[in-house]
Amino acid sequence: MYRNDEEKLIDIILGEAVLALLKSDAAINNAALIRQLQAMAAVEKSAARHRACKQAILDVRNNIKSGSNRYTHEIRDMDNVTHLFTSEGPPDGTKKH
């Protein structure tokens, strides 16, 4: 649940940016997402949507920084199925299953 309309708009903007990348058959990664958000912000006429673009860019950048402490371990089993284990656990106060 969103705390306010601004957070909802940021998520909408992020979704629009990802859809634009998908439609243009571009790579989906943090750098491409930031470039798309910057392009959207540059042509945005609505002040609220412009702020949401800028906040979305900050959110993606902050996610990149917080991701530097993560690691992923890949294990392939006997059936040639790959299992990925990350250093991330479930959010605090939640169960694993």
The 10s digit of each residue's pLDDT in 40-76 is: 999 999 999 999 999 999 999 988 776 655 556 667 7
Instruction: Give the residue with greater pLDDT, 1 vs 21.
Output: 21
Give me the pLDDT at residue 86, please: 61
Measured CA to CA in angstroms, residue 53 lies from 18, 34, 65, 78 at distances of: 13, 9, 19, 46
Which of the four pLDDT bands, split at 50, 70 and 90, describes residue 83?
Answer: low
Q: Burial level of 53, CB count in 10 A (0-12/13-18/19+)?
A: buried
- pLDDT tens-digit profile of 29-40? 889 999 999 999
